[in-house]
């Protein structure tokens, strides 16, 4: 009984706790400095997608693997905002990727609010990997509208952790434009948010040797499973339903939206947006500085819908597209002009997103442009 009482004395339990905590900390430190980083494997197949968490935290070697797999296969990465997410009958990047008339594959980094300024962090963190990388960036003019002016905290925190941004900022001293477009990241977060985002970043870094490097070294197949999105053999664009055709059971061609959207129409005006102008120019300048081969797609606005629902906004939208085109021309950027598609019935599903039929028309324009450049 004396032995049991001794074991369960508060002072004894406290000593056990201190010992376990110290041992755990020493184990973490030892693991952090002795477990080697799992190396980039150099897969032969192109990665079509990458998990968002790997981009958000600039995970190694995942993001390096993604970029290198695209470059060494002479592939392309399509980038864009919500118009570059999956559509019911296929989107432009899927048509490009599945076209069997050329061997090139088309990967995707797209999501709502994933504007070009956020992508600048990836370019700055992977200068060697992005040298001569081929990108296609889709510009949706609706991001120049009144409710999307300036820095958007929700977009940046979704795709780029604050700790990752701080680390990138240290590497970007030669490229001050990145700080100019992203400095509001610090200003928009309150102290508690800054602390929690940095804690999240550092906890991920501390656990990396154990939960990734050691795990991958012991079980290499889990590395491939974690990358997940390898390119499968092409099946041809003919596999997509309604390819090059308008699905009138789904789309209202008079209003150029889906039948479903007719009941919840909304529209915000397009206004002068110096932040978006600067963001686009900064992205172009960085791509030039890092030898990134980027082709822009100037997307359309739904002129048919705007002219019916809120005709007083139409001139501002048309002028906004002209303004973006003028920036691309002034910067001597390579671009595909798809702005005229907004006048084609069936090309949109709502006030700001093209349809699969519109995507097919965009795919044809990009394909023709790349053929003329000799990139396919």
Residue 29: predicted pLDDT: 56
Task: Give pTM, 2 decimals.
Answer: 0.89
Residue 20: predicted pLDDT: 53
**43-57, 102-116, 243-257: lowest mean pLDDT where?**
43-57
Model confidence pLDDT, tens digit, residues 118-173: 999 999 999 999 999 999 999 999 999 988 888 999 999 999 999 999 999 998 98
Q: At what angle are helices 62-72 and 220-227 packed, to 10 degrees? A: 70
User: Cα 219–221–224 angle (5° rounding)?
Assistant: 130
- Written as six digits, the tokens of 271 are 């206004």
The sign one gets for the Cα dihedral 129, 65, 134, 173 is: negative
Contact 196, 235 (CB under 8 A): no
The sign one gets for the Cα dihedral 348, 349, 352, 353 is: negative
Helix, strand and coil content of the chain, in percent to the nearest 5, comes to 60, 10, 35
Contact 201, 163 (CB under 8 A): yes
Q: What is the dihedral of CA 174, 180, 183, 185, to 10 degrees?
A: -110
Model confidence pLDDT, tens digit, residues 231-279: 889 999 999 989 999 999 999 999 999 999 987 777 899 988 999 999 9
Q: Is the pLDDT of residue 5 over 50?
A: no
Q: What is the rounded distance in angstroms from the CA atom of residue 136 to the CA atom of residue 150?
A: 23
Helix (H, G, I), strand (E, B) or coil at 79: strand
Determine the number of helices (DSSP H) and then strands (DSSP E) in the chain: 18, 7
Q: Is the pLDDT of residue 8 over 70?
A: no
- Of 174, 144, 180, 166, nearest to 298 by C-alpha is 144
Q: What is the rounded distance in angstroms from the CA atom of residue 359 to the CA atom of residue 91?
A: 5
Residue 4: predicted pLDDT: 46
* Chain center to CA of 344: 28
Helix or strand holding residue 7 (H, E): helix 2-7
Q: Is the pLDDT of residue 229 over 60?
A: yes
């Amino acid at each position: 009984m004396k032995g049991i009482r001794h074991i369960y004395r508060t002072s004894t339990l406290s000593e056990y706790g201190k010992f376990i905590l110290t041992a755990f900390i020493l184990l973490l430190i030892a693991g952090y400095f002795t477990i080697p980083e799992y190396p980039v494997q150099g897969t032969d197949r192109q990665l079509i997608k990458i998990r968002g968490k790997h981009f958000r935290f600039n995970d190694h070697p995942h993001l390096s693997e993604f970029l290198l797999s695209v470059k060494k296969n002479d592939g392309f990465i399509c980038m864009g905002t919500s118009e570059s997410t999956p559509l019911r009958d296929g989107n432009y990047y899927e048509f490009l990727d599945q076209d069997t008339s050329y061997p090139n594959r088309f990967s995707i980094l797209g999501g709502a609010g994933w504007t070009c300024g956020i992508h600048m962090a990836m370019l700055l963190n992977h200068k060697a990997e992005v040298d001569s990388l081929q990108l296609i960036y889709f510009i949706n003019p609706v991001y120049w509208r009144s409710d999307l002016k300036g820095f958007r905290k929700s977009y940046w925190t979704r795709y780029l952790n604050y700790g990752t941004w701080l680390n990138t900022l240290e590497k970007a001293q030669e490229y001050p434009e990145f700080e100019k477009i992203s400095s509001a990241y610090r200003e928009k977060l309150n102290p508690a948010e800054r602390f929690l985002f940095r804690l999240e970043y550092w906890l991920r870094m501390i656990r990396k040797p154990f939960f990734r490097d050691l795990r991958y070294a012991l079980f290499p197949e889990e590395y491939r499973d974690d990358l997940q999105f390898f390119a499968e053999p092409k099946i041809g664009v003919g596999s997509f339903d309604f390819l090059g055709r308008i699905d009138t059971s789904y789309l209202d061609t008079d209003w150029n939206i889906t039948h479903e959207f007719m009941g919840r129409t909304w529209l915000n005006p397009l206004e002068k947006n110096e932040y978006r102008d600067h963001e686009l120019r900064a992205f172009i300048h960085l791509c030039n500085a890092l030898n990134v081969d980027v082709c822009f797609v100037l997307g359309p606005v739904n002129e048919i819908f705007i002219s019916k629902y809120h005709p007083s906004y139409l001139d501002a939208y048309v002028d906004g597209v002209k303004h973006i085109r003028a920036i691309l021309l002034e910067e001597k950027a390579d671009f595909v002009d798809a702005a005229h598609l907004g006048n084609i019935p069936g090309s949109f599903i709502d006030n700001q997103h093209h349809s699969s039929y519109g995507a097919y028309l965009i795919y044809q324009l990009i394909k023709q442009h790349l053929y003329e450049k000799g990139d396919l």
